[in-house]
Structure 1
């Protein structure tokens, strides 16, 4: 009779919060010690910012070479879009396949797959384990978003990797020139405006990101952001301002503003903030050409070149109140985009085509159509 192999799952730390047996003040002291030991260290090769993500018990499932599985509860130190650092009471082999259950910022958990890439001895039985995720995550799903402490994903950003069109609204011509100088080595197209009235022309034509001062001529940036969202304009908004008054802080936190940066703005921090939305490999541009066959890569490049025109056609169809044309365009985009890895474009196009296919009037889906046009423009340089 043939022998039946059964996969066994072993629980390593039943009854304890984590494998270290550390919790409360004891765990905080250990994490403080590790953070202090790494203070001042810079990793010029690193592209993803590590954010504190202290958690006493992250559930992990390790798959061993023989197929057996081990369930662990691990204390967590930090998190980035590409991986995380956890603590364990023994050595774990690099290359081990692991799936972790990350608690979301709102509710529930997400199962994230990855591999152990590093195991460093700290002291005694304590080891720090580096896990690299198979796919980048959206950090905002796991870290509560705050414009004043935004969970920026990228560091050591190369300016030449940034592409797209930025609308910069600031009454001060000198401050507009300072920002333009900070971005001089990028491939960004920057349109400067001193008033909202002047800026609206460019917003209606289409831009990828809005950069603005909080104190504008006719209104503040928080009020502007609320009005833009109400009118269906989904562009990310970064405020660069010296106004941190309690009233301004409260208004910004209640608004759709994504990031707040202080004046005088740090050039590297500005690049990181812009990369959050316009970097080719950011979560907002999920095109994964590196995983495609060579022949598919050529098709992806060709498709990306058509996305600017697709955005223009969508906006013209909205202006002409032509739901049939919007439906045709979104249906075509959905099929091609998802086939070639342009996940964001494909998913939004699916929302539009599904809504119109169910008979919803164009007026009710106009905001999603504009969001689709913006996604097309953001992804046109992704391949």
Structure 2
């Protein structure tokens, strides 16, 4: 017996009312999204939630020294956000409320975007210290354009890590759809410039972040690269809290998608491991981290943090390489990773130049930059550049 699959086509009846299309005969759905191809109902002004106007906001706690900054991408709104509306959102963080007969904790929108900002506001309230967060920069966009989102987050993160002098309350920085031209323009406008230097002859086969014997049971950073200019980096160790020795599924997937699965032992290219403390010198892959003593766990965690910071350093080198049009074996450099961790004070220019030279066999010329500082109005001195991203 051959079965039949029936497909039902949904018919949406609409009528023209002046210059606007409206739903016909549908209760509580009087107007469709103003974006022509979209038939979703209006939820924010004249747009559906996906196509409504949005903003990336750069916030500063005006009273904090050194400056405390945070990037926030609040829910769509028909009108631009004000300082008071943002402070109202932040004021709900950590506050218990009853909703639908259940107790909930306010501030989920903030917590989901930046747990560091959420925790900062809650801690300040707990310590009975005042916060006065103010919008010091905004980047509007529409049509669910994540290219704007990723570009702004990457640009501000790079600026803060390279210039220093401020804390950014964001950790997970997505940049898969970031626009290199916009990022370069933003950084240049804030006194951060990069240029490719001369080719480096006789590049050392020893990575600058490796100074002794490697124990792959402990945290280390590995590098993959191929002749097509594709690079990947990640943190690995064979002692984990859950699955032993497992690299992220994302690494395996992206190796296949980019052709990096044709590498020969690419994950064996260790480019960083911090000096191994005495307590961990005898650790092997079958050891269980859950059975570590408190002292061993502390040492292991220090190595893990150091590895993650170096991973971020490599991510920064990769993004700079893309921005300046760096090539490797005749192909333009392309970083495979989609995100990085922001670390305040993570960038050491000497280390950045060293890892750049090792990875691309080219020197990096970087301008001397001044630290971020407050102006007379107590706001951080920053040039908010609005570049149209298509």
- TM-score norm. by structure 2 comes to 0.29
Bigger relative contact order, structure 1 or 2 (CA pairs below 8 A, ≥6 apart): 2
Higher helix proportion: 1
Structure with larger Rg: 2
